[in-house]
Structure 1
Amino acid sequence: MSQDEKELYELITQGPRAQARQHFALTDGHGRLTGPFGDFLLSPKVGTALQALGSTLRYQIDLSDRARELAILTVAARLRSNFEQESHEAIAQALGFNEDELIAIRREDMTLFDPYESQVGQTVTALLNGDLDEAHWKAAKESLGARTVFELIALVGYYSTLALQLRVFRADS
């Protein structure tokens, strides 16, 4: 590996993802990065930026852990990202999601969730449809706040990028 690749590898394997409770392996038995992370090494500068954005979205935004995982899983379900769905369902289960809730997310049905989480899911679904119309924007802004809507836009964009990357590089399990 080049120096840039080594630095990125260490950011992923020794940074916040590695420090948090592990619900899926970051590396395989040979030390290779799993999921989207191995492909980050193809362009270390872009990979480093993506890694930093992903880390920020996972560990530093205002969404509750449950709301964040609901949002990630909604993107994974819509875009059929198996790796993201499997890895984040493991995280969601550790946060107390039950099987009925996971099935509901796969169907983009937010009726099982409390009003806040439901609004998160509805907002993500509208973003995946291309935009927030005036009614969605008003409801999201009132319920979640403009800052959280901004963070959800970044989250949807990031996990959509990963889903596309996983498909193109045939890394999705």
Structure 2
Amino acid sequence: MPETPTFGRYAEIPFEEMSPEQQEGYRAMIESRGRLPGPTKIWVHNPRLAKVAGPFGAHFQPGRYSLSEREREIAVCVITSHWRSAYPTAAHERIAKTAGLPAAKVEAILAGLPTAFDDAREQVVYEMAVVLSAGRWVSRGMHDRAVAVLGHVGVTDVITLMGHYTSVAMTLAFYDVPDGATGMAR
């Protein structure tokens, strides 16, 4: 008989029922992240993944990378809405607005409508996210503008942030985790 789902279609494993390797992965995730949000509730099932995903995801916590919170939320909203994943898209819609992005711009991003930003960094992050999520060619002009405005550190932070949130969105979409799902208390 299948286990009862606790987080979308996923049945979380209580800590005391985890294998020793899963408990080790769980502890590594908690150590690097401080909590088990969103897809990490699912990724902890794979202890090897948990050990690398925790520190990688922690890189994108405030103050640990080169992007502002507004810039981060532009890229995250583009990629999570691209994958039509309810849980992270709704969560980051709220976070983006709290970070000070205008509601109309956030809503345009989520709907796949064009928008623009007065801040050059925010505009470049938006253009990069749209181009990359659409699987389009990065023109020489786009490349040169991004490197000039963000530098290589900022460019790689945008790219890897989008890769990370692609994994987040796809995991949560696969397990059909709805907006606001809480899962097991940990």
Shared fold by TM > 0.5? yes
Q: For residues 154 and 52 of structure 1, do their structure 2 counterparts lie closer, same or farther at Cα, with a shift above 3 Å needed?
A: same
Distance 1:17 1:64 in 2: 21
How far off is 1:63 after superposition?
A: 0.4
**Alignment partner for residue 38 of structure 1, among 33, 38, 41?**
41
Question: TM-score, normalised on structure 1?
Answer: 0.79
How far off is 1:171 after superposition?
A: 2.8
Pair 1:145 & 2:145 matched = no
Q: For residues 9 and 111 of structure 1, do their structure 2 counterparts lie closer, same or farther at Cα, with a shift above 3 Å needed?
A: same
> Is the contact made by 1:36 and 1:165 (CA closer than 8 Å) also made in structure 2?
yes
Equivalence for 1:29: none
Distance 1:62 1:167 in 2: 28
The AA in structure 1 aligned to 2:157 is E
Distance 1:13 1:123 in 2: 31
> Is the contact made by 1:108 and 1:121 (CA closer than 8 Å) also made in structure 2?
no
Higher relative contact order (Cα pairs below 8 Å, separated by 6+ residues): 2
> Is the contact made by 2:77 and 2:109 (CA closer than 8 Å) also made in structure 1?
yes
**Alignment partner for residue 164 of structure 2, among 150, 158, 168?**
158
Unaligned regions of 5+ residues in structure 2, if any? 1-17, 180-186
How far off is 1:12 after superposition?
A: 4.4
Pair 1:87 & 2:99 matched = no
Higher helix share: 1
Equivalence for 1:168: 174
**Alignment partner for residue 9 of structure 1, among 6, 21, 26?**
26
**Alignment partner for residue 58 of structure 2, among 48, 55, 60?**
55
| 1:73-126 residue CA offsets vs partner (Å, 9 max, x unmatched) | 111121212111112222222212332121122135331452210111101111
Q: For residues 8 and 94 of structure 1, do their structure 2 counterparts lie closer, same or farther at Cα, with a shift above 3 Å needed?
A: farther
The AA in structure 1 aligned to 2:61 is R
The AA in structure 2 aligned to 1:6 is Q
RMSD: 2.2
> Is the contact made by 1:40 and 1:46 (CA closer than 8 Å) also made in structure 2?
yes
Distance 2:91 2:28 in 1: 19
Unaligned regions of 5+ residues in structure 1, if any? 19-25, 27-33
Equivalence for 1:116: 121
3-state SS of the aligned residue for 2:59? helix
Distance 2:99 2:155 in 1: 22
The AA in structure 1 aligned to 2:126 is G
Q: For residues 12 and 68 of structure 1, do their structure 2 counterparts lie closer, same or farther at Cα, with a shift above 3 Å needed?
A: same
Q: For residues 73 and 38 of structure 1, do their structure 2 counterparts lie closer, same or farther at Cα, with a shift above 3 Å needed?
A: same
